Structures are given as C-alpha cells and as structure tokens.
A and B are shown apart, each in its own frame.
Chain A
Amino acid sequence: MHEILVKAREEHYIPPEKRSNKYHGGMVEHKSWLGVLYTVILYAFMAIIILICIVPMWHVLTSSLSDGSILLFKKGIVWWPIQDSGAESMFNWGGYKLLFRNRGIWSGFLNTFIYVAGSTTLGFVLNVIGGYTISRKSMLSRPLALMLVLTLMFHGGLIPTYMVIKALGMVGTRWALIIPGCTSGIFMVIMANAFRNVPESTIEAAEIDGAGHFTIMFQVVLPQSLSIATVIILNTVILHWNSWYPASIYVPTKRNLWPIQLWIKEILAQNQPSSFLQAANPDYNKYLLQYCVILIASLPVLLLFPLFLKYIEKGVIIGGVKE
C-alpha cells in the first residue's frame, strides 16, 4: 500500500518551480462557448444599465458647462459642452457663478445639512431603540410591532398631520422638518429583523457580564448589524436630502428655513420668474441654471455613495445568507 502511495506521489508531484502561479478558477480551466456567450450578454446588459444611469448625469454636467444661449436651441443629448465659436474656454462657468452669487442657495444648503443631520441622528437613535424593543421577547414587542406595521398602511393624511404639528407649535420652525419625518415604521421593523439575527447566546452572555439594555443595544447588538444600520442611515439621508414637500407646507413663507430642494423646485418648476431669476438676466440663463442647480444638489449624495458601498452590498444580501 505504501509503495503505491509513494509511486502515485512521484508521478503526480509537481515541484514548486514548475507550478503555475496563475489561478484558473478551480478545476475548469477553459470556459465553454455557452459560458463565454453568457458572460458577453451579462456584460452587455450591465453596460446598457450603466449607460442608462450615466448618460443623463453626463448630459446635465455638460449642459451646465455650456453656453446658455446656444444650449437653448440644442436638441438631444449634449455629449460635450457647447460654446460659442469665439469662446476662449471650453467650459462656461457662468451658470455656477450666477448660482453661487445667490444667497438662497447657500442658506438652502446649510438648512438641508441641518435637516439631514438632525433627522438622521434622531431617526437612527429611534430606529435602534424601536428595533431593539421589537426584537426582544417581551409582552410589549408584538403589539408594538403590529402598531408599527399599521402605520405603514394607514396614516392620518396631510391635514390631520398638519393640525397635530401645528398644535405642537412646530409649524414655521426647523423642528417641523426634523422631527415628524425622522423615522418610519419600516426602518424599525428592518432594524428589528437585523437584531434578531444576533445569536441569543451572545445577548445572554452580555447580560451575565453585567450589561443592561442600553449597553446590549449599542455595544453588542448594533455593531453586529452595522451593514443594515448603514443602509437605513443612507436611505434616511437621501430621503431628507431630496425632500422639499414638507418644507413647502410647514415653512412656505420663511425663505431662510428653506432646504436646497425647495429652492431648486422654485427655480425649475415655477413659471413666473422669481426675483432670483430676474437677476439672472438675460433669459437663457434660466435654462442653464437648471442644470447647474441639479448637479450641485445631487453631488453630495453621489459622493456619499462610494464611501458606503461596502456596507450597502452587505446590507442588501443580509438575511438571504446565514453565516
């Protein structure tokens, strides 16, 4: 028996200097033509989806750097910034200059930052506390979960909500844009599901180690559900970054409290020229400004995405894969 093994070893042993350094992807070294076709189709499909996402953004970017008067008559996608034949530079920064000269844009940005930071922080704390409460086995957890699910299907509607917020004295203040929309029942339910994936024995161990509910919540359970928490945070950030409707209801006349999106809405959607646009005379600048303002408003969220990509990928597949 031993001799057979020795012989087999001699026959099949590959000395280190002869071993290939290239990994062939397991046992299969060559793909079949069907495999190649599949890969090609997959890549082509992905390329189309990527193009569908990128082309509009590229169009907005190039348009914002074009000459407003020529842009007004240009039809189709602007692949490269278009300038007047006598222009000195390839890019026209006029739209941006005009935009940043406006105080409303700056205060809009500042307000949006305040609303996003406030809502996200408050919402996150509430999501964690609410999620933890539902995830634990207690008398209250089931009725509470039921109530949260009910809020997803039924809510008071705009006017009753407005009346409540008015009765609380929040109309016309920043709080009306921070507190009411900071969380949602679905976020708490998602958080609770993530917390339920933490093994019960870990929580028991923490209890024996002397940890109370808050320590278990923030130091044991939450760090093990960070990917889901990050996804929820990012969703809240995007939701509040893009939100203009609550501001148009709760602070319609207080322009100093307007978020950036309400300014954009005013610039883009209102037919009558605002004082801001009148300043941006001549008229074609109005057209150019739309692109500048869209780009400026979406840039921070776009920059945020790659930073959280790792967590988002993890968060999306979580629940499907049991580690």
Chain B
Amino acid sequence: MAKISFQDFSAYYKLKKKKYVLSLNKITLEIPSESFFVVVGPSGSGKTTLLKAILGGVELTDGLLIINGTSVENIKKKEANISYLSQEYSLYPHMTVYENVAFPLRRMRTDFQEIDLRVKTVLDYLKIDFLASRKPRQLSYGQMQRVAIARALVKNPRIMLFDEPFSNLEPTLKNELRLTLKNIHQEFKPTIIYATHDLTDAFILGEKIAVLNGGELEAIGTKEEIENSDKAFVRSFLSR
C-alpha cells in the first residue's frame, strides 16, 4: 500500500504574517506499509502537524517526507488518496448520511452504480445502513463518528489519518470504535496513522508507537519497547 518516511523533517506552524513556530524538529521516522502506527504525545507535541504534513497541508517544511517513493510536494491532493478524520467529524450538515459518504466518490467521478454499491457496502459494514437518509443533526456522536469513518473508508484509501478521533466519546463507545478500526485495518489493509494523547488508545491499537514531545521524537517502538524505554520524558508520560 503506502510506505511513509520522514528524513530530517521539520515543519513550521504559521502564527501570523511572516512569523512561524517550529512544530516538528528534524524527525526521522519510517512508517511501514499497511501498518497501524500510533503517534502519542501531550498537547502541542506536533501530532497534528505530522498528520497535516502527510496531507501536504503544512506551508513551510524542511527535510524530506516521502510517500511511496514520491516526495510529498509532488503529490497532487486529488491523486493522494488519503483520508483524514478528526474529532470534529466534519460532516456536511446539509447532506444526508448517504450523500456525505458518497461525496468523495462523486469528486473522483466514479460511475453512479459503483458509487451506490460502494456506499451501501460501507454503510452496511459499519452497521449504519439504517441511517442512510438521516441528516447529521439527527445522529448521536457515536453515529456521527461512524459516518465519518464510512466517508473516510469509502474511497478505499491507501493511507488513513486519524487525529484524536474518539476523544469526545464515552468509554464504551470508544472501545466499540477501536474494535471497528482494528477490523478495518485487518480487512482493508490501509496504512493507518493514529494521533492521540491517550495511552490506552496507543497500546490497544498501535503495532508501532512513536512518542512525540515538543516537536521532537522521543521514542519509537512496539508497546513493550515503549514501556521499557529509559527516556525520562517517556517514563513520566507513562506514569501520568
């Protein structure tokens, strides 16, 4: 699917005109293809910037960010086939659930029958087919998040980015959706990058985990490797 590699990559966040703040500092990181990769760290550690950089949405960068052998600046947004999902759901309020999910496919000029088939399959897979004709305001938060996942999944993306998607949800629902994400990963094999400040999320979901602190990469490894890390920040972050 898609391998992502950061080489000495720095990203700057625009504060105001001609004033930038360093958000990621010389990160070198390999995200293997088809892996479930979790980026964990406190607020302001650069998690969102890392995801936005993959989307090509960071204005000022330094170093290399290569997706499947192509530098990110050379990838057109339309051709990137990346899905992004945040805690804000960002559903289109004037469209029904069906139209929301079909929206990315319509932009790709997919055949009408193909759209219908894929949307229904995804809605069915996420068990929200009965919501198809409802508008977002008629949904619960959990249902909204499922619709957002459906919209992200329907275009069969090679990379899926999740930016603290479940931080607003109650624990039972969170567990349910974690399981859904695991299943999606096993079945469709996209490269998933999941940013969170929640260690439970990281340890349950991540095949590999990276710990960020103030824009620097503190540690990277499996759950066990992170737990046994001797870095002071990682130890203090784990003991919160």
* Residue positions of A touching B, CB distance < 8 A: 199, 201-202, 204-211, 215, 220, 223-224, 226
- Taking Cβ atoms with an 8 Å cutoff, the residues of B that contact A are 55, 57, 77-78, 82-84, 86, 88, 90-95, 103-104, 107-108, 151, 155
Residue in A205, A207, A224 whose CB lies within 8 Å of B94 = A224
Q: A210 touching B108 by the CB < 8 A rule?
A: yes
Give chain B residues whose Cβ lies under 8 Å from the Cβ of A220: 92
**Contact A208:B55 (CB < 8 A) given known A199-B88, A201-B86, A201-B88:** yes
Q: Is the CB of B90 within 8 A of A199?
A: yes
Chain B contacts of A215 at CB under 8 A?
107
- Knowing A199-B88, A201-B88, A215-B107, say if A208 contacts B94 (CB, 8 Å): no
Ordered by A's residue number, 26 sampled pairs between the chains whose C-beta atoms are within 8 Å are A199-B88, A201-B90, A202-B90, A204-B57, A204-B84, A204-B90, A205-B84, A205-B90, A205-B92, A206-B92, A207-B77, A208-B55, A208-B77, A208-B82, A209-B103, A209-B104, A209-B107, A209-B151, A210-B77, A210-B104, A210-B107, A211-B103, A215-B107, A223-B92, A223-B95, A224-B93
Q: In the assembled complex, how far is the CB of residue B10 from the closest CB belonging to chain A, in whole angstroms?
A: 22
With a CB–CB cut-off of 8 A, which chain A residues contact B155? 209
Minimum CB–CB distance from B229 to chain A (whole Å) comes to 34
Cβ contacts under 8 Å, B107 to chain A = 209-211, 215
Complex Cα distance, B77 from A28, in Å, reads 58
B83 touches A202 (CB 8 A): no
Q: In angstroms, how far is the closest chain B Cβ from the Cβ of A173?
A: 39
Closest chain-A Cβ to B83's Cβ sits at a distance in Å of 7
Residues on B with C-beta less than 8 A from A204 are 57, 84, 90
A208 touches B84 (CB 8 A): yes
B85 to chain A, nearest CB (A): 9
Q: Is the CB of B78 within 8 A of A210?
A: yes
Q: A205-B92, A223-B94 are in contact. List 12 more A-B contacts (CB 8 A).
A: A202-B90, A206-B92, A208-B84, A209-B104, A209-B107, A209-B151, A210-B104, A210-B108, A211-B107, A223-B95, A224-B93, A226-B94
- A224-B103 Cα distance, complex, nearest whole Å: 16
For the complex, give the distance between the alpha carbons of A202 and B83 in Å. Answer: 14
* Assembled-state Cα–Cα distance A199/B82 (Å): 21
Please indicate the chain A residues that have their CB under 8 angstroms from the CB of B95 in the complex: 223
Kindly list the 5 A-B residue pairs having the minimum CB-CB distance in the complex, ordered from nearest: A210-B107, A205-B90, A209-B104, A223-B94, A201-B90
Look across to chain B and name the residue whose beta carbon is closest to the beta carbon of A204.
Answer: B90
Measured between alpha carbons, how far is A110 from B57 in the docked complex, in Å? 52
Q: B55, B82, B90 — which one has the most chain A CB atoms within 10 A of its CB?
A: B90
Assembly CA distance A223 to B103 (angstroms): 14
Q: In chain A, what residue has the closest Cβ to B104?
A: A209
* Bound-complex Cα distance A201 to B87 (A): 10
For A211, the chain B residues whose CB sits under 8 A away are 103, 107
CA distance A210 to B82 in the complex (A): 10
A220 to B107, CA, bound (A): 12
Which residue, A201, A206, A210, has most C-beta atoms of chain B within 10 A?
Answer: A210
Expressed in whole angstroms, the Cα–Cα distance for A204 and B90 within the complex equals: 9
In angstroms, Cα B100 to Cα A206, docked, is 10
List A contacts of B108 (CB < 8 A): 210
A211: min CB distance to chain B, Å: 5
| Candidate in B83, B88, B107 with the most chain A CB atoms within 10 angstroms | B107
- In the bound assembly, the distance between CA atoms of A206 and B90 in angstroms comes to 9
- The answer to whether A202 and B55 have CB atoms under 8 Å apart is no
Question: In the complex, what's the smallest C-beta–C-beta distance from B106 to chain A, in angstroms?
Answer: 9
Which residue on A lies nearest to B86, using beta carbons? A201
Q: Which residue of B lies closest to A203 (CB)?
A: B90
Q: Which residues of A contact B151 (CB under 8 A)?
A: 209
Closest to B88 in A: A201
Q: Which residue of A lies closest to B14 (CB)?
A: A137
A220 to B83, CA, bound (A): 18
